[in-house]
Amino acid sequence: MQKEKAKERIILGIDPGTVVLGYGIIKEVGNTISLISMGVIKMGHLDDHALKLQRIFKKTSALMQEYNPDCVALESPFYGKNIQVMLKLGRAQGVAMAAALAQDIPIFEYSPRKIKQSVTGNGNATKEQVSAMLKNLLKFEETPQFLDATDGLAIAVCHSFQKNSTSGSGKSYSGWSSFIKDNKDRIK
């Protein structure tokens, strides 16, 4: 009997921002993920908010055309004290969503806490802790110029982990030993 070919998908993770937008692209084959690309889109040099939104739309659209992701995962807006900042971030996220929807790519949202919890096991992890975990998980050495790039990558990884944790039996585990016993193929 032939073993079924592992399904493959490309996931684009986006950390929306109006000064710097971070992104990460991973390839998932079965339960294995690998880094394709990560980086930032800079907008600090633009004074006009509309021009920043236009740049987000054009650059994220270009990323989607180049890498042809199967889905896009974004960080959802979080509650903040400055309503103007929240509005600008919401617009940035909306424009990135529109770029994906214009290309018929499904979108998913995750809270900052859910992303950190998924990648590090700690919902209150720092950006540096998330970055360190991703370097270990995806085996890359270069330090991104901005932690926004690893934030985008963390969102993609978070989405991959959601699929893996809900696929199959949807079983919950009582501890690491029971998880490892049922997931030998995921342990390196």
Name the residues annotated as catalytic.
15, 75, 148
Q: What is the DSSP string of 41-70?
A: EE-TT---HHHHHHHHHHHHHHHHHHH--S
Strands 107-110 and 71-75: parallel
Is 151 marked within a binding site?
Answer: no
Is 182 marked within a binding site?
Answer: no
Q: What is the DSSP string of the chain?
A: -PPPPPPEEEEEEEE--SSEEEEEEEEEETTEEEEEEEEEEE-TT---HHHHHHHHHHHHHHHHHHH--SEEEEEPP---S-HHHHHHHHHHHHHHHHHHHHTT--EEEE-HHHHHHHHHS-TT--HHHHHHHHHHHHT--SPPSSHHHHHHHHHHHHHHHHHHHHSTT----SSHHHHHHH-GGG--
Which residues carry a binding-site annotation? 15, 75, 148
Q: Which residues are annotated as a binding site for Mg(2+)?
A: 15, 75, 148
